[in-house]
Amino acid sequence: MAKTVLTFGDSNTYGTPPAKAPGENRRFAPDTRWPCIMARALGDDWQVIEAGLPGRTTSLADPVMGAHMDGQLGLRIALEGHGPIDLLTIMLGTNDAQTHHARTAEQIVGGLAALLAIARSEPYQTRHGGFDILIIAPPPTTEQGTYRDTQMGAAEKSQSFAPLMGALAAHWGLPFFDAGAHVSVSPIDGVHIAAQDHQTLGVALAEKVRSL
């Protein structure tokens, strides 16, 4: 029987291409998005559910995009709308680092810890018959390109994601993957990864999932 992985994240899980202008609403095709690449690499032993939402944070409403950007709400919906699952991947933090959220790197990782508390809670673990969680640190952002105005201070904060999220994963006894060790954001907008990086990330994550 195939196992199921739920990929929970933001626009880099959804498959948003690097934006050449603010407000673009584009998405890479399924043969390009990393969750689909991962699914193909894993083969028939795994089913992959995509649950990426552009703008999603770990635990904050967005003043422009709305309250539904809060990952705590989104995670509950995803866990109640799909399943049973065997593995949950979480790759979030990029949007939390935007200037208007005024969050430190430590506070962003605290938001991730809130998601772990939800996912590890007895009701959701029981609902799915138990599932593991893979924490993925997103690649560091750069303060350049299309979204430069929203990124003041974000580059420095995002450089701390891998060590801090890795420490959180170790504390919870969870597996960890540093996406920034494999891919980089595009200089076009400083936030999103390009098509070739989706390919690289999907293949690398398939290897990680197989090892769990």
What would the pLDDT profile of 154-179 be if each residue is shown by its tens digit?
A: 999 999 999 999 999 999 999 999 99
Give the closest residue to 135 by CA, choosing from 27, 2, 7, 1. 7
List of E strands, the chain: 3-9, 46-52, 87-91, 132-137, 176-178
What residue has token string 């559910």? 49
Supply the pLDDT for residue 22: 84
Q: CATH no. for residue 48?
A: 3.40.50.1110
Supply the pLDDT for residue 101: 94
Supply the pLDDT for residue 23: 81
pLDDT range class, residue 49, cuts 50, 70, 90? very high
Average pLDDT, the chain: 96
d(CA 165, CA 158): 11
- Show the domain range for 127: 3-211
Q: pTM for the complete prediction?
A: 0.97
Give the closest residue to 59 by CA, choosing from 118, 16, 126, 128. 118
Provide the domain count of the chain: 1
Strand order in the sheet with 87-91: 46-52, 3-9, 87-91, 132-137, 176-178
Residue 132 contacts residue 88 (beta carbons within 8 Å) = yes
